[in-house]
Structure 1
Amino acid sequence: MLTASIPESHMWRAIDAVRDLFCATIPSSGLLWAISDEDSTQRQCKGCGEICQLLRWGEVQRRRDSAYQGSSPPRIVHNSYLELKLCAGGGPGCDPCRLLRRAFLLEQITRQDAERLEHLGNQWPIHAVLNLSSSGDTALALAIKSPKAILFSATIHLSNEPRPPLPRKPTKGAPGLRSDLSALRQVIDSCHHQHSCSSNYRWSRRNPTWLLKILPDNLVQLVEGPPEPVNYVVLSYSWGDPATMPAAEWARIKGAGTKTINGRPVPERLNPFRVRDLPETMQDAITISASLGVSYIWIDNVCIPKGTNWDTEASLMHEVYGNSAFTLVASSSAKATDRLLYDRLAWTHPSKACQLREWWWLHNTQMPLDRVRFEAPVSLRAWTLQEERLSPRILYWAGQRWYWSCPECQVAETGELEWAPPAADTTPRSSPQRFLELCRTGDEHLLHEEWLDIVEAYTRRDLVAPRDRFLAIAGLAVRFYNAKAGSGGTVITEDYLAGLWKDNFARHLAWSVAGAVDSRRSLQDIAPSWSWASLPLQVHTRTKTPFKSSEHFKFIAAEHIDPAHTSSIFTRKTTGDPSTDYINRGRAVEERGRGVKVVEVQGRFRRFISEDAQDVPWDAIEWKRGGRSSFDFGAFPGQSIYARNSGNGSIISKDAHSGEVVGQLDYLVPSDNKNRVMSPYVQEGCEKEIMCLELGELAMLLLVSNRRRGQPESYRRVGVAIGYANRKGFFYGCETRKLRLA
């Protein structure tokens, strides 16, 4: 039963709230009462009276000071979400409560999120706070709060001006229980005919190798990509986590893949087959595409037949996504068996103008697109990062509405929700197409910064198969290289090195982890220690710290490259077509880059910890006061010391009478601590073995020798130190050495 895991007290609280509300709706109770002078049909409840008390508080503050900024004390407007829903429900209902209910629903990205609002375990009081800003903006912050945490939140905007209500029944351009795609078709047509997206961002005239052709009568057919360009949709979605779903469900998702016989797709796919044979997300994506007048769709699991050279297909993703009519991002789907098309609860009741205290008009706010981008389940999947960043035009399909993004505009489905509170700072709106824009303009500095941003986003995501670590970002690497190489260059210095780029190699080496991670999940069998790709999956990294190059650091060569990643493209003769030749070169550089294991570099080099330094406990030097954390070395005057935080991997080195350097180790020492030879971490008690290589003026790599692995001349990375302003002269007078990093 659903209630089996719910505390009994929660269940009875919800039942009592519902019972009380039914009793209160008897006319003599006075729970529902009309107070609007503007519209005698507008219904309001006692909870609205609590909001009116907040508005009175705000009016008093504004009379005292028109630029007043602050927040009111909280007030409870309803005892639970179910009570709010019933108050907003059928019959005349309560108009402000309908708007409050919609506000909570619009904050939910998936259908499951919206359904969680009604779960009995989430029935806690709804608190409201009135926020007044110095600019004159007024907003009502809502929160469903348990004793331990805020479970749900929403925002209502208040103004002195009404907004035109939408028609009572959903029509063109108006949101309803089911999406009316006529408004979306207008947006797409406008983009196609009035923007330069297609002409400026289309990669080539080539279609994907295989496409699904959408046929009448709910049929589809796998066909070879036509020789001439066609409009096709690309589906970006999450397969789901096999560990959290029944084995049969995962088998059904995997089973949607196209099998082959002698290298060709099976006849069952080359002949028309039923749409319902595919998982639900794919079914609804096909329906949406057909409704928008598109006759082809590309879905990875179906259009890359089993047995296909997966490495080659992965390096073509910049073409697949760059040439599409648009990419459909299944933001509302957590797994491939989730529906995209279903009743949207936010639009159960038609919208209408809503007013309190004669001059306060209430409006729903719009969820920023960035929240949909970064919080939807699909954003947890590594493959979808390049699917988004390589797409000139994107349709985000969220639970209650859609969003459209192209290089020239961003549009939300619901016109009434165009207003959004201004940001607290002047940070510009982020754009999913920023990477493509920089590739097109060729700004070298910003392009490298964007790659570092991509790395930060990518390392946080998950992969079903860790061996795909490089493949899931291959399309971005090809696009990056080609943006720098250009079609006519003869002397090209850029090179791809296991997820890093040679022309700014020191900067790219200076990544760090937010906190040391479990060494037992390391991927150093896939990537070298100096590459972020060697980290475990779903690790938060930092790449965008201030950096100024050191004149002493130099990249020399990539020494060891796995032969399995030396592409046959290298050995092909040029075709005579500069465009084709440089595209092939980009693919070859990416394939080769996956196999780089050892590089030779040069830079200033020294010990991280002095030989005479004393090991001291971390808590003997850490100084905390309030939310601040610093260091106090008063107990060790005139001594060289070092300390290591076993909890987060921080490590500090301080020479006598000099400032300290704080580093961050990549890995924690596991509790069993058995694998001493192949371990990626620094053994406890072996901290003095750490050496360091200067990367920038305030950035260094922390290294240990590979002599235990039989490679005395090479070093492996164990961490980094960045921003040691208290010890700017750490490398003064140190020797410059050539090192091999593995």
Structure 2
Amino acid sequence: LPQTIVDTVVTTWRLEIRFLWIGSQCIIQDDNHDKVIEISCMPQIYGNACLTILASRSSSVTEGFLHERVISNDILCAKLAVKVFDQTAKIAHLIPQRKNVELEPLYRRAWALQERLLSSRKLSFGSLQTRWFCREMDDNTSLKDDSRDGWTFRERKGWEELERFELLGHWIKIDSQTADELSTQWYFLIDTYTSCEMTFEGDRLPAISAIAQRLAPRLGDYHAGLWGRNLLSQLMWTRVNKSKLAKDATPSWTWATAVGHCRYTDNDLTIPAATMLAMLAMTAATAFPTKISGAASAVTLGMSVTATAQAMETVTPCFILATLRCWFTLLKY
């Protein structure tokens, strides 16, 4: 077995956990039917697991994560005249930085995003330290101790703020968020998700489908990466650095057709007077499949979006605000 899987087995055994689920081993990799079934179960697998082991420091399945850590020389370390078991103690003051988070190999992998977001409890083996995350700890804003795992409370909270989607509670407290708030979080999520690495172009939608399933009860119809309740504003995505387009059957109107980083605009945008607005046409009310886990195609979705233009006598600007809400005048529906 590859070293990362071996280390996972060892960790599970030492924690005295009886059962272990590993995606690459438990999903038949060359069976698309089995993939669809298992991917659709991801929210339950991660949400109901006793613990999710995150090999955050491992850049490949052969590297492992239980080997000795090598701390770089830029970490502040001072020798103090304090005797601890007849030895001089060394105290390292670790200051969390955003680059340390972004450089962890796990944070660069698209498939790993939903396991980070949907897991109830996580044990993360990082480059600097091993960290524990659970919902009780995330929700506790009045910790009594000022230092835990080598981090002061203020620095730890700053580090958690950088892990926006994991620890701010937007995903943990989905039921307490309004639909508009969840829609806004989806925009930021797509920005983060599409900047991650992915081996196969066709995995763009399946690799985020578990998160979509978790949000579907609140956001309603889901159309190949876009939510029907505010579909017009969700069409306002753009490619970063002119990333290439996918060669598969993914519809051209969704961000999933771009192979690379995409984002939604966060600046005010005004469309001047005497111009256009959009008409949204759907072939049928039942044109969209209920399953979220599979790849999408224009044929199975049966949807068309047509932009029309018409001169207007009055000024009717369209503003896209920082909240990413968009107001449109529909000429006809």
TM-score surpassing 0.5?
yes
Report how far residue 339 of structure 1 moved. Answer: 2.0
Report how far residue 372 of structure 1 moved. Answer: 5.1
Q: Which runs of 5+ in 1 are unaligned?
A: 1-277, 356-360, 485-493, 567-584, 607-693, 700-721, 724-730
Q: Determine the C-alpha separation between the residues in 2 that align with 1:294 and 1:547.
A: 53
Q: Determine the C-alpha separation between the residues in 2 that align with 1:590 and 1:559.
A: 22
Larger radius of gyration: 1
| Structure 2 residue 318 is matched with structure 1 residue 697 | yes
Q: In structure 1, what residue type is equivalent to 2:240?
A: A
Matches within 5 A, 1:660-739: 697-698=318-319, 736=331
Q: Determine the C-alpha separation between the residues in 1 that align with 2:91 and 2:13.
A: 38
With normalisation by structure 1, the TM-score equals 0.35
| Structure 2 residue 13 is matched with structure 1 residue 296 | no
C-alpha contact 1:330 1:340 (8 A) present in aligned 2: yes
Structure 2 counterpart of 1:342? 67
| Structure 2 residue 239 is matched with structure 1 residue 513 | yes
Structure 2 counterpart of 1:384? 112
Q: Deviations over 1:343-365 (max 9, x none)?
A: 23449xxx98638xxxxx97512
1:529 pairs with one of 242, 252, 256: 252
Report how far residue 386 of structure 1 moved. Answer: 1.4
Report how far residue 472 of structure 1 moved. Answer: 0.8
Report how far residue 334 of structure 1 moved. Answer: 0.5
CA gap of 1:545–1:334, structure 2 versus 1, over 3 A, is: same
1:400 pairs with one of 128, 153, 160: 128
Q: Determine the C-alpha separation between the residues in 2 that align with 1:327 and 1:400.
A: 19
Structure 1 counterpart of 2:301? 596
Q: Determine the C-alpha separation between the residues in 2 that align with 1:303 and 1:279.
A: 15
C-alpha contact 2:239 2:258 (8 A) present in aligned 1: no
Q: Deviations over 1:168-211 (max 9, x none)?
A: xxxxxxxxxxxxxxxxxxxxxxxxxxxxxxxxxxxxxxxxxxxx
C-alpha contact 2:54 2:122 (8 A) present in aligned 1: yes
Q: Determine the C-alpha separation between the residues in 1 that align with 2:230 and 2:330.
A: 23
Match of 2:188, SS state, is: helix
CA gap of 1:525–1:304, structure 2 versus 1, over 3 A, is: closer
Q: Determine the C-alpha separation between the residues in 2 that align with 1:495 and 1:325.
A: 31
Match of 2:174, SS state, is: helix
Match of 2:52, SS state, is: strand
Report how far residue 471 of structure 1 moved. Answer: 0.9
Match of 1:736, SS state, is: coil
2:40 pairs with one of 315, 318, 330: 315
Matches within 5 A, 1:280-679: 280-306=3-29, 307=31, 308-346=33-71, 354=80, 364-367=93-96, 371=99, 373-409=101-137, 415-418=149-152, 430-433=164-167, 434-484=169-219, 494-517=220-243, 521-523=244-246, 525-537=248-260, 539-545=261-267, 556-559=280-283, 566=289, 588=291, 591=294, 595-596=300-301, 598-600=303-305, 605=310
Q: Determine the C-alpha separation between the residues in 1 that align with 2:156 and 2:193.
A: 29
Q: Determine the C-alpha separation between the residues in 2 that align with 1:416 and 1:436.
A: 27
Q: Determine the C-alpha separation between the residues in 2 that align with 1:401 and 1:428.
A: 17
Report how far residue 312 of structure 1 moved. Answer: 2.3
Matches within 5 A, 1:29-40: none
Report how far residue 463 of structure 1 moved. Answer: 1.8
Q: In structure 1, what residue type is equivalent to 2:239?
A: V
CA gap of 1:554–1:439, structure 2 versus 1, over 3 A, is: farther
CA gap of 1:601–1:481, structure 2 versus 1, over 3 A, is: farther
Report how far residue 318 of structure 1 moved. Answer: 0.9
C-alpha contact 2:179 2:218 (8 A) present in aligned 1: no
Q: In structure 1, what residue type is equivalent to 2:93?
A: N
CA gap of 1:598–1:532, structure 2 versus 1, over 3 A, is: same
- Relative contact order, CA 8 A, sep 6+: which one is greater? 2
Report how far residue 409 of structure 1 moved. Answer: 2.1
CA gap of 1:396–1:544, structure 2 versus 1, over 3 A, is: farther
Match of 1:526, SS state, is: coil
C-alpha contact 2:205 2:294 (8 A) present in aligned 1: no
Structure 1 counterpart of 2:325? none
CA gap of 1:420–1:455, structure 2 versus 1, over 3 A, is: same
CA gap of 1:603–1:316, structure 2 versus 1, over 3 A, is: farther
Report how far residue 437 of structure 1 moved. Answer: 2.4
Aligned Cα RMSD in Å? 4.1
Report how far residue 540 of structure 1 moved. Answer: 4.5
Matches within 5 A, 1:208-223: none
CA gap of 1:441–1:557, structure 2 versus 1, over 3 A, is: farther
Q: Determine the C-alpha separation between the residues in 2 that align with 1:456 and 1:466.
A: 17
Q: Deviations over 1:372-393 (max 9, x none)?
A: 5432112222111112111122
Report how far residue 479 of structure 1 moved. Answer: 1.1
Matches within 5 A, 1:96-245: none
Q: Determine the C-alpha separation between the residues in 2 that align with 1:403 and 1:392.
A: 14
With normalisation by structure 2, the TM-score equals 0.72
Structure 1 counterpart of 2:86? none
Match of 2:66, SS state, is: coil
Larger strand percent:
1
Q: Determine the C-alpha separation between the residues in 2 that align with 1:457 and 1:314.
A: 21
Match of 2:215, SS state, is: helix
Q: In structure 2, what residue type is equivalent to 1:397?
A: F
Q: Deviations over 1:649-689 (max 9, x none)?
A: xxxxxxxxxxxxxxxxxxxxxxxxxxxxxxxxxxxxxxxxx
Name the count of aligned residue pairs.
294
C-alpha contact 1:603 1:737 (8 A) present in aligned 2: no
Q: Determine the C-alpha separation between the residues in 1 that align with 2:248 and 2:263.
A: 20
Q: Determine the C-alpha separation between the residues in 1 that align with 2:210 and 2:247.
A: 22
Q: Determine the C-alpha separation between the residues in 2 that align with 1:540 and 1:405.
A: 29
C-alpha contact 2:120 2:134 (8 A) present in aligned 1: yes
Q: In structure 2, what residue type is equivalent to 1:478?
A: Q
